[in-house]
């Protein structure tokens, strides 16, 4: 029986930092194979973790057997780098044990983390949770009550287990801002680190993926109406309900939120001291500063 190719590279996050765009650039390199269906198999999360943070992928059943996961890379026979990009791999404390499971599976793997201005990433994380996971709190309350938002931007903490298990030489970091502003040089440096042709330049480097839309829908109140609209009863009866009544039920269940209507000044003021302290630790860990993070180091 022919042994299936095994991944040797993992883009582990950070979520809302451009992992989808970076994944797309990587897939275009002729010496690199990245899983695409799905992009984020999240195999190294336990099933209970998947049910909480990524139920759609849990249904795909990669967690059931290693062979299910390796089938994603069956066509990577000639690739030098075989990888995947699962942003939930750097989401301590909500998701634990991932670095350890990757290390057992591929102890010689290369690990990359893309990092965005922590304040911008935290706010984008909020919009993502509002859009897809029913976040009903206002941003400040959410950030104060749920440490997942700010801890995911605590990059030194997220990097720690990977550095401990894989070593500094096999852990690579880059920033969203430099990928945006100096894309050819940034990708060339990453390709060089991966050991593939660093003269190759992917096309359409200026295109950004998964940008939060300017208008989103937020669940109203306790979410009771929205849960009813997602129930089996509504799914069965919905087609029989007149369109105007369905539209009214949607308006009762959700309201439109415009990003531009949110005053982010108080949010930035709250996050700045927290995330500057976290970034000071990151700077000491990596031996570099982050002047490209203009929201973090601004004063407004």
173 φ, ψ to 5°? -125, 145
Q: What is the mean pLDDT of residues 60-83?
A: 96
Q: What's the pLDDT tens digit per position in 210-243?
A: 667 777 787 755 444 444 434 455 456 556 666 6
Per cent of the chain over pLDDT 90 is: 75
* Helical residues (DSSP H) of the chain, grouped into ranges: 19-27, 47-53, 55-58, 66-70, 98-105, 118-133, 139-145, 148-152, 155-166, 176-181, 183-194, 224-229, 232-237, 243-253, 265-286
* Size of the chain, expressed as the number of residues it contains: 300
- What is the distance between the alpha carbons of residues 246 and 253, in angstroms, rounded to a whole number? 10
Using pLDDT thresholds of 50, 70 and 90, give the confidence band for residue 84: very high
Q: Which residues contact 296 (CB under 8 A, 6 or more apart)?
A: 117, 118, 119, 272, 275, 276, 279, 290
* 20, 39 contact by CB (below 8 A): yes
> What element of type H or E holds 9?
strand 9-11
pLDDT tops 90 at residue 11:
yes
Query: Is the model more confident about 257 or about 152?
Result: 152
For residue range 173-190, what is the model confidence (pLDDT) as tens digits?
999 999 999 999 999 999
pTM here is 0.86
CATH fold for domain 9-212+264-286: Rossmann fold (3.40.50)
**Cβ-contact 25, 201 below 8 angstroms:** no
Helix and strand tally (H, E) in the chain?
15, 7
> Is the per-residue pLDDT at 254 higher than 50?
yes
pLDDT at 231: 46
Residue ranges, comma separated, of all CATH 3.40.50.300 domains in the chain are 9-212+264-286
- CA dist 54 and 17 (Å) reads 17
Strands 110-115 and 171-175: parallel
Tell me the C-alpha distance between 265 and 299, whole Å: 10
Rounded Cα gap, residues 266 and 7, in angstroms: 43
Nearest C-alpha neighbor of 91 from the set 42, 21, 34? 42
pLDDT in tens, 120-157: 999 999 999 998 898 999 999 999 999 999 999 999 99
């Amino acid at each position: 029986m022919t042994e299936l190719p095994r991944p040797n590279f993992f883009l582990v996050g950070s979520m809302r930092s451009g992992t989808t765009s970076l994944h797309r650039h990587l897939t275009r390199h002729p010496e690199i194979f990245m899983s695409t269906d799905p992009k984020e198999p999240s195999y190294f999360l336990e099933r209970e973790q998947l049910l909480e943070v990524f139920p759609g992928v849990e249904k795909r059943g990669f967690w059931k057997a290693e062979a299910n996961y390796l089938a994603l890379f069956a066509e990577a026979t000639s690739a030098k780098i075989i990888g995947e990009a699962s942003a939930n791999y750097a989401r301590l404390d909500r998701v634990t044990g991932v670095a350890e499971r990757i290390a057992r599976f591929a102890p010689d793997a290369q690990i990359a983390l893309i990092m965005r201005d922590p304040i911008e990433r935290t706010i984008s994380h909020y919009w993502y949770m509002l859009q897809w996971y029913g976040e009903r709190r206002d941003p400040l309350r959410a950030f104060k009550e749920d440490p997942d938002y700010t801890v995911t931007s605590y990059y030194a903490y997220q990097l720690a287990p990977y550095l401990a298990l894989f070593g500094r030489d096999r852990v690579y970091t880059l920033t969203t801002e430099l990928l945006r502003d100096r894309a050819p040089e940034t990708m060339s440096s990453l390709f060089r680190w991966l050991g593939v042709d660093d003269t190759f330049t992917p096309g359409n480097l200026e295109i950004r993926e998964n940008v939060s839309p300017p208008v989103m829908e937020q669940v109203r109140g306790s979410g009771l109406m929205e849960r009813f609209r997602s129930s089996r009863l509504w799914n069965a009866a919905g087609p029989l309900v007149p369109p105007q009544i369905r539209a009214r039920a949607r308006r009762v269940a959700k309201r439109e939120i415009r990003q531009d209507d949110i005053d982010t000044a108080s949010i930035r003021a709250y996050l700045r001291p927290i995330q500057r302290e976290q970034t000071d630790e990151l700077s000491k860990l990596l031996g570099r500063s982050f002047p490209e993070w203009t929201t973090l180091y601004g004063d407004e």
